[in-house]
Amino acid sequence: MPDADPPADDAAAGVDDPFRAAREGSGILRCPFQGESIPMLLRHEEVRRAARDWQTFSSDAPFRVPIPSEESLRSVRQLPIEVDPPDHGDYRSLVEPFFLRARQPEFVARVEGIVEALVGAALAADSLEVVEGFALPLQSRALAVLLGEPDGEAEVYIGWGVHVFHGDDGAAKASRLEDYLRARFERAAAAPGDDFFGLLTRARFRGRPLSREEMLGFANLAFAGGRDTIIHSVASALGHLATVPADLAFLRADPGRIVLAAEEFFRVFMPLTHIGRVCPQATPLDGTEVPAGGRVSLGWASANLDADVFDDPRAIRLDRRPNPHVSFGFGPHLCLGAAHSRTVMKALLGVLCRRVAAIETVRARPRVERTAGYERTLGYDELVLRFHPAAAG
């Protein structure tokens, strides 16, 4: 196959940036949420500085790290994301080796097998809705592998849909998830295995067993924390390769480009716009003061489009290097699932390079995050694609 260059200055490759004016102005956007005006930090340097400074911008705030907050959607503190050092590091150390299994060849091969099956089904169909018909099963089946669960458990996860918490029936979904997790821990307590639930029932935090609430906090994050991120990143990557076919040709010409391409997709297709921090003490910010107990948010999506760090930041460049994006966070709370997400994305792109010649958009309904402070278009509520097979040989 002849070599190919990534498209330059293609309007179709641009991504939405509703934060540009505020980022280039004060660097802060005030966002009303649940009766609270939350200042969002927008610049790459300031977001990373705040992410490191847990004494000023604390995560020790059960239910208030996500924005909007989740007091009505869960009953337990998510671990380790909703604690600060040194507790954070001690909690994290209990499960981090389990999540890093995503780098192991056996795990990678199993995820590639999941992608192969999904791509094969897509090629056999006339067309496929890929948010629920491809990205959701991929996320769910890969998660079952990561957690050491039987393959059949993934069908349960698929049945929960794209969102575990959010939507008109968010409270009911959240209750269903907690009921499922409690039942799984009951089974693990009776016969602990080598899976994620068995690990937590055997784990000891500073010499004592974890409480059931602590176990639920770890599991709640594992099932809810990265779900939307993977689903929307996968769907967005597929949508981009359908919209800009030269980029699929660019990857097929040299699959060695996949590593950089995956990082670029994570940079521009960052489903989590921002995350909250709580100021334990009154904190000066932008000429005003965040009161003690008030929240600030770290604008991951805005930081990833900061022109002071990324050349032509709205352009999707699959050979971008360096690429210091913050899609997996920064500082002590770097995402536990980063290795897993990278494995899934690289497996997807690798199989597409081997088996797919082109992807065609049949129908697309963009996903729009609408708030009182901003509107951000990213990903799809519905995306129907047609996959064309690569020539054999």
Extract the tokens encoding 190.
């009776």
Distances (CA, A) of 285 to 66, 144, 202, 294, 340: 21, 43, 44, 12, 36
Extract the tokens encoding 393.
């040989």
Tell me the C-alpha distance between 297 and 66, whole Å.
9
pLDDT tens, per residue, the chain with 393 residues: 334 444 443 434 489 999 999 999 999 999 999 889 999 999 999 999 999 999 999 999 999 999 999 998 999 999 999 999 999 999 999 999 999 999 999 999 999 999 999 999 999 999 999 999 999 999 999 999 999 999 999 999 999 999 887 767 778 888 999 999 999 999 999 999 999 999 999 999 999 999 999 999 999 999 988 788 899 999 999 999 999 999 999 999 999 999 999 999 999 999 899 999 999 999 999 888 999 999 999 999 999 999 999 999 999 999 999 999 999 999 999 999 999 999 999 999 999 999 999 999 999 999 999 999 999 998 999 999 999 999 975
Domain ranges, ordered by start, for the chain: 11-166+221-389
Judged on CB neighbours under 10 Å (0-12, 13-18, 19+), 82 is buried
Q: Cα 159 to the chain's mean position, in Å? A: 19
Out of 3.40.50.11890, 1.10.630.10, 1.10.3720.10, 2.40.50.100, the CATH code matching 11-166+221-389 is 1.10.630.10
Sequence-ordered list of residues with C-beta below 8 angstroms from that of 261, at least 6 positions apart, any chain: 247, 251, 318, 319, 349
